[in-house]
Amino acid sequence: MKIASIQLEVKEGRAKEQTVAYALEMMDKCRGADLIVLPELWNIGFFNYDRYREDSEPADGPTARAVSEKARELGAYVYSGSFVEKRGGQYFNTGVFFGRKGEELGRYSKIHLFSYRSREPELLSPGTEIAVIGTEYGKMGLSTCYDLRFPELYREMTSRGATHFLVTSGWPYPRLEAWNILNQARALENTCCLISSNAAGVQHGARFLGHSQIVDPWGTVIAGSGYGEAIIRADLGDDLVEKVRAEFPVLKDRAAWLM
């Protein structure tokens, strides 16, 4: 499976429509990838709280439709990254997973909202559903940024058959050590591959950390980036997780009474 993770730079003051158009150009550079992942709230930027509700849209709104069409054009699976979804009278941090024909295969609304010096819990509602989606490459577990700090979510996705974790993120500076450790730990402890796409750039004085990663089931970072805008790529064997779990069957050694 050929993977491309787009570490998109958030531009201060850029209109949402311009950002969507630019993201589609970045996706064009990923032609040939089987799976493409985008960052969290990339169409407006995580720290643009005043635009959350103004620029919200339904789960099948213009951002999702544009990404869906590009997924169909490229013939790739795409985790859309997330956007502010308006659903009824509530707002959610939601991402959509599209198939090779641009069809929606599933969606995920961020369960753990970030409360540290953030207005996210004030403006948005937490999701309540776990998303694990089947593909010919295995099952993809969807997650968003702050979720990384909650290992029980990833263990539950593993229990539901996940072989790959997709992490869309707007993780900020300076917590680089935490980001690196958690990317590797979530993969290692569940014998899963993990693909993260973090934002880059500066918004309202806050710097996004970048350092998107592709991590194998041993917890080894096989592709990564720095702080700036980038596309990271890796080719993961289609049966890599199966092989590692057979060689080192740690999940089979779990104490049943703790599950």
Catalytic residue set: 40, 110, 145
DSSP state of 218: T
CA distance 166 to 189: 15
d(CA 86, CA 96): 14
CB 72 within 8 A of CB 100: yes
Looking at the DSSP bridge assignments, the partners of residue 150 are none
Q: Are strands 104-109 and 35-37 parallel, antiparallel or unpaired?
A: unpaired
Bridge partners, 223 (sequence order):
214
Is the separation of the CB atoms in 214 and 4 below 8 Å? no
- Residues with Cβ < 8 Å from 79, sequence gap 6 or more? 35, 36, 37, 38, 95, 96, 97, 98, 140, 142, 166, 168, 197
Dist CA 191 CA 24 (whole Å) = 32
